[in-house]
């Protein structure tokens, strides 16, 4: 397929790389052209604006940090919508607000432009390996048409229903992941403080009812090594948790525990850890407990 791809940062670049490796022809754009150097060397074409990524391509993807960035790239001056025509397909791979992507969908539909949401999960290492989970909302027939491209970036591509449903699934997933990270930090510091070796404790939990990917895959790569280079940045984790609590408010739902997780991430941001990996949030609990959760390298 001929594909436009906007946003080739920590997640976007490896996804775009895998699309090229799968035989797709890419036209790429980013606010920093140097971020696309490896992709251009692999044969991708450069576009000077989001608008310029659209002509001649069957689908345009975005992978961007915040909902406001997505809105600006799609609906703003020299944006995707300006370059699109009736029947053009746009897919957002970002973790976005369901309300925002539904609003973008409605605006684009007035011009006959098709919008799907397809947020991904699995971190930078999953993006590099092409094993991401991809959660897709929108027209199912269009989903089937572009699925070969999605299969190049994800090992588990799921149709979730109407527009916005992919975002809802992703937000729920990330809320649980971040909340698990906070609770795990408390449990692990408790166990270590009470005299259990961290490696032993982590092994027991990983193979018991408390086991989860956060302790078997994420912590060993980041927290347990004292490695806070993203990865998945704390600023993005905080954004995703806030998207979840905002969605809860929108639907009038109580979110007591989620709001506690939200505030822990707010504290991490106030400490200046926004650019660090999201495992850095566990350092707050480490400080309070007087315990460092590190394993020998």
What are the catalytic residues?
A: 170
What is the CB-side half-sphere exposure of residue 251 using CA atoms within 13 A? 11
Residue 170 and residue 134: Cα distance in Å, rounded? 9
Copy the structure tokens of residue 96: 């976005």
């Amino acid at each position: 397929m001929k594909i436009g791809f906007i946003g080739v940062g920590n997640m976007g670049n490896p996804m775009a790389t895998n699309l090229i490796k799968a035989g797709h022809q890419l036209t790429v754009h980013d606010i920093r052209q140097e971020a696309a150097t490896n992709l251009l060397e692999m044969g991708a074409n450069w576009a000077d604006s989001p608008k310029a990524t659209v002509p001649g391509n069957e689908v345009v993807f975005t992978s961007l940090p915040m909902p406001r960035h997505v809105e600006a790239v799609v609906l703003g001056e020299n944006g995707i919508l300006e370059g699109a025509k009736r029947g053009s397909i746009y897919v957002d791979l970002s973790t976005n607000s369901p309300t925002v992507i539904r609003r973008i969908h409605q605006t684009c539909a007035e011009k006959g432009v098709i919008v799907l949401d397809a947020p991904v999960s699995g971190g930078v290492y999953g993006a590099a390996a092409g094993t991401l989970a991809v959660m897709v909302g929108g027209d199912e027939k269009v989903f089937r048409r572009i699925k070969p491209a999605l299969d190049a970036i994800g090992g588990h591509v799921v149709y979730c229903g109407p527009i916005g449903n992919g975002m809802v699934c992703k937000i729920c997933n990330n809320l649980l992941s971040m909340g698990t990270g906070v609770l795990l930090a408390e449990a692990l510091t408790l166990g270590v403080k009470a005299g259990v070796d961290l490696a032993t404790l982590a092994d027991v939990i990983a193979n018991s009812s408390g086991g989860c990917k956060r302790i078997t895959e994420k912590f060993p790569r980041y927290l347990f090594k004292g490695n806070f280079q993203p990865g998945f940045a704390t600023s993005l984790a905080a954004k995703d948790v806030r998207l979840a609590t905002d969605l809860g408010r929108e639907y009038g739902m109580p979110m007591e525990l989620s709001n506690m997780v939200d505030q822990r991430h707010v504290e991490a941001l106030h400490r200046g850890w926004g650019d660090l990996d999201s495992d850095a949030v566990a350092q707050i609990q480490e400080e309070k407990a007087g315990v460092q959760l590190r394993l020998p390298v």
